[in-house]
Structure 1
Amino acid sequence: MSSTDNNNSNTKDSDQADAWDDLCVNPQQVALETGRQEGRQAGLVSGFNDGKTVGIVKGVEYGMEVGFVKGVVKELSDALLALDNNNADNSNNRFGDAAKVERIQNTLQSLTTLLDAFPSPQESFQGTGIVGQLNSASDDNDDEEALLSGKDGKSSTDLEGHMQRIRAKFKLLMVQLRWNNFSLKAVMDAATAVGGKDDNPTENQTATMIPPTSDW
Structure 2
Amino acid sequence: MSKTALVTGASRGIGLETTRRFILNHDDITTVVMFARDSEDFDDNVAALESELPIGRKIVPYRVDVGDRSALKKAVKQAYDEVGNIDILINNAGYTNPVPLQQVKMADFEKTMNVNLYGPFTIVKTLLNRGNRFDLIVNIASTAGINGRSGWLTYSASKAAVINMSQVMREELSIYGTRVVCLSPAAPRPHCAARSRRRRIPARSCSPSTSLR
> When the two structures are superposed, what TM-score results if normalisation uses the length of structure 1?
0.21
Q: Is the strand fraction higher in 1 or 2?
A: 2
Q: State the TM-score, normalized to the length of structure 2.
A: 0.21
Higher CA-based Rg: 1
